[in-house]
């Protein structure tokens, strides 16, 4: 059994296939396994908590794990250790989530492209058809992650508290979420995964895209992301597409295309959930 895992800070999608790529189990989901947020003990506990994974743990021959927070050796080693403790008979390979985005969005294995992630967090890299190049080292959700779910969640809460929302949007926002100050502070400062908590608010934007306020919020966030991240690779933008992975990008396709026209880059593919595209890639590699 081969396990392929696409893990963000909010959730991890697991798919089990045989050596021919045929799906063996129903797709599984656990909480996110970000080593920048969770301890090694918590990583192990989250995996072991899933009864299906626990039951089939000794049947797994390979684990290909792509995760947020795995761009450093420390992060990779933590996840590698957690996986090997559970899947004792498996060869384990851990890579950062950017590689999942690359393999799931490029049109062929050797295609060069700028590839962006816009989900709970955000990132942007250049893939030359063989090697990943990153010009910006991520410093996490507090300092970076422009145009991500947690970025937009934070902006919505700030606009609500600073009275920068139109009244009808403010009423709708307050009707959907618990916006008591103590509750928000408890979830941000006292609970694990504050970035995932903030990202939960981003859904509100896509339920209210008929609002000029919401459309401006989305496009302003994308412009900041493009300026800070995509334009880092401006020497390549005349010749390669810019692909996008993640739910925020998927539901912001029109706004991304508008900003791309403004800022001079060519939009390529959108993939909401990269995990499906990873199966064919890995089965081919194993044959």
Q: What is the pLDDT of residue 10?
A: 78
Q: What is the pLDDT of residue 109?
A: 81
Average pLDDT over residues 58-81: 93
Q: For domain 2-101+274-286, give the CATH superfamily.
A: ATPase, nucleotide binding domain (3.30.420.40)
Alpha-carbon distance of 253 to 31, in angstroms, equals 26
Domain ranges for the chain: 2-101+274-286
Q: What is the pLDDT of residue 72?
A: 87
**Which of 63, 86, 81, 91 is CA-nearest to residue 5?**
63
Q: In Å, how far are 53, 83, 88, 91, 243 from 25, measured between CA atoms?
A: 10, 19, 19, 19, 30
The alpha carbon dihedral of 147, 150, 156, 159 has a sign of: negative
Angle at CA 65, nearest 5°, toward 77 and 58? 90
Alpha-carbon distance of 9 to 6, in angstroms, equals 10
Average pLDDT over residues 18-34: 90
Residue 287, pLDDT above cutoff 70: no
Q: In Å, how far are 17, 59, 98, 108 from 280, measured between CA atoms?
A: 10, 21, 17, 11
Alpha-carbon distance of 283 to 236, in angstroms, equals 30
106-120 pLDDT, tens digit per residue, is 988 889 999 999 998
118-131 pLDDT, tens digit per residue, is 998 899 999 999 99
What percent of the residues of the chain are helix, what percent strand, and what percent coil, each to the nearest 5?
45, 20, 35
201-254 pLDDT, tens digit per residue, is 999 999 999 999 999 999 999 999 999 999 999 999 999 999 999 999 999 999
Average pLDDT over residues 11-35: 90
**SS3 call for 81:** helix
pLDDT category, 191, cuts 50, 70, 90?
Answer: very high
Tokens standing for 190? 């006292």
Q: What is the pLDDT of residue 279?
A: 82
pLDDT category, 97, cuts 50, 70, 90?
Answer: confident
Percent of the chain with pLDDT strictly greater than 70: 100
Q: For the chain, give the number of residues.
A: 287
Q: What is the pLDDT of residue 86?
A: 95
**pTM, rounded to two decimals:** 0.81
Alpha-carbon distance of 35 to 4, in angstroms, equals 18
């Amino acid at each position: 059994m081969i396990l392929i895992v696409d893990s963000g800070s909010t959730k991890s999608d697991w798919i089990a296939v045989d050596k021919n790529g045929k799906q063996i189990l129903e797709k599984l989901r656990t909480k996110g396994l970000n080593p920048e947020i969770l301890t090694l003990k918590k990583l192990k506990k989250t995996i072991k908590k899933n009864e299906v994974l626990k039951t089939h743990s000794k049947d797994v021959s390979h684990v290909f794990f792509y995760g947020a927070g795995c761009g450093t050796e420390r992060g990779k080693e933590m996840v590698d250790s957690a996986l090997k403790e559970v899947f004792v008979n498996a060869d384990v390979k851990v890579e950062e989530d950017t590689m999942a985005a690359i393999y799931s969005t490029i049109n062929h294995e050797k295609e060069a492209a700028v590839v962006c992630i816009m989900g709970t967090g955000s990132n942007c890299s250049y893939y030359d058809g063989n090697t990943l190049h990153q010009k910006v080292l991520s410093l996490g959700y507090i300092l970076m992650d422009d145009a991500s779910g947690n970025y937009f969640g934070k902006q919505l809460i700030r606009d609500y508290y600073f009275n920068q929302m139109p009244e009808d949007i403010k009423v709708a926002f307050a009707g959907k979420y618990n916006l008591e100050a103590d509750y928000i502070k408890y979830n941000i400062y006292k609970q694990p995964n504050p970035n995932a908590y903030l990202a939960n608010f981003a859904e509100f934007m896509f339920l209210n895209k008929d609002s000029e306020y919401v459309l401006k919020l989305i496009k302003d966030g994308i412009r900041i992301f493009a300026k800070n991240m995509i334009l880092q690779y401006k020497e390549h933008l005349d010749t390669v597409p810019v692909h996008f992975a993640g739910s925020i990008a998927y539901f912001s396709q029109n706004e991304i295309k508008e900003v791309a026209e403004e800022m001079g880059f060519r939009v390529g593919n959108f993939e909401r959930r990269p995990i499906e595209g990873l199966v064919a890639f890995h089965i081919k590699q194993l044959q």
